[in-house]
Amino acid sequence: MQNFVLHNQTKILFGKGMVEQLGTECRLHGQKALLVYGRESIKKTGLYDKISTLLSDQGVSFIDHGGVVSNPLLSHVREGIKKAKEEKVDLILAVGGGSVIDSAKAISCGALAQHDVWKFFTGKKSIKATLPLVCVLTLAAAGSEMNGGMVVTHDEKRHKFGTGNNLLNPKTSILDPSLTITVPHDYTVYGAIDAIAHIAEFYFTTKEVAPVQERFMEGLIINIIDSCNRVLQDLSDYDARADLMWCATLALNGWTAAGLGLVGFPMHMIEHTLSAHYNVPHGAGLSVVMPGWMNYMVAKNPHKFNQFSQRIFSHAKPDLVENGYTGVQSLKEIFRKWQAPISLEELSIPESDLPRLARESLPLARNWRMNDYSEEIIHEILRGCL
């Protein structure tokens, strides 16, 4: 295990009714907020009205900025930055899932920049300052509520890029599992798959021998599968929703990657291209890309995939490579059982588009310094997703 510094400054308020603390938490950081959210769901559930009251009770005013879509767009972020500057807000409040929180993070740094926010995503500029961010999480998935990462899609270029900085960590995130009970079957599943992918990328791309971290990550994957199964049996099961929500947060809050050294995000790199060009839900894209990438990697890292197969699914075939493939197949069968897509065909992505998608993945591969992934290798992985 390598040396590491772990400093996660996000305050978590977890549990039923914790949203009642929102006004107090916001008041600690500002007096005028930009409220970032998605479509109409928080209004239909009554959460919008509740938030309005909680803020008002603490003397915090807010400016509306709804309309975030599932693959958040740069144009919408730019509109939010314009509002934040014109209205002189001193706080960003995100209510939603990872897409909403990522948009809010981009606004929080863009509002204090003198250049276009996209330069942060291309690595041309570094984040120096952000407006404070408070989050109310309504979807267990991305882990953005407790990390400094963000992902946005450039509308015109169709580049879905991600970047990170510790300054982007929310000041406070409220995780009330009861707010996720209205999340339907498909997006519950997509969130669980996204969380598994975050863990699997650390697990398989590290070159470190790290038994503590390995057992931690394996335990999270087992618990994500278990809690998602329980939620799908009863979408209103609070305890199952709570377990799934906390697992998704732990998957990408810095703890899983501690001591692992250099790691990569190859599955996300490829999936970002799919969702940028086809607007598929992020978790749906990952449910296709993840088994395809894993099958490509089994023969290159047989010991790790054999370990994964043994510890997650209790497979014990004598041949390491065969046992590794069996573990990947078991994961794929879970995704099938969850009614998630497991092929590019199910996403309506034709084989004829694979060369273009492989080529379009290269800018992000270079931006994320994954130089081992050539156009030919990405094409081969995509062919394994057919």
What is the residue type of 159? H
CA–CA distance, 27 with 30 (Å, rounded to integer): 5
Domains along the chain with CATH numbers: 11-179 (3.40.50.1970), 183-383 (1.20.1090.10)
pLDDT digits (tens, 9 = 90+) for 230-282: 999 999 999 999 999 999 999 999 999 999 999 999 999 999 999 999 999 99
Look at residue 241 in the predicted model and tell me its pLDDT.
Answer: 98
DSSP for 323-343 reads: HHHHHHHHHHHHHHHTT---S
39 pLDDT tier (thresholds 50, 70, 90): confident
Closest CA to 274 of 378, 187, 201, 369: 378
- CB-facing half-sphere around the CA of 376: CA atoms within 13 A: 1
120, 164 contact by CB (below 8 A) = no
pLDDT digits (tens, 9 = 90+) for 299-358: 999 999 999 999 999 999 999 999 999 999 999 999 999 999 999 999 999 999 999 999
Look at residue 224 in the predicted model and tell me its pLDDT.
Answer: 98
Closest CA to 180 of 230, 225, 242: 242
Residues 6+ apart with CB under 8 A from 233: 240
Q: How far apart are the first and last CA of the chain?
A: 37
Look at residue 33 in the predicted model and tell me its pLDDT.
Answer: 98
pLDDT digits (tens, 9 = 90+) for 343-370: 999 999 999 999 999 999 999 999 899 9
pLDDT digits (tens, 9 = 90+) for 142-169: 999 999 999 999 999 999 999 999 999 9
CA–CA distance, 362 with 270 (Å, rounded to integer): 9
Look at residue 193 in the predicted model and tell me its pLDDT.
Answer: 98
96, 42 contact by CB (below 8 A) = yes
pLDDT digits (tens, 9 = 90+) for 104-129: 999 999 999 999 999 999 999 999 99
Q: What is the Rg, in whole angstroms, of the alpha carbon atoms belonging to the chain?
A: 20
pLDDT at 386 over 90: yes
CA–CA distance, 293 with 276 (Å, rounded to integer): 19
Residues 6+ apart with CB under 8 A from 5: none
Look at residue 121 in the predicted model and tell me its pLDDT.
Answer: 95
pLDDT at 40 over 90: no
Please give the mean pLDDT across all residues of the chain.
96
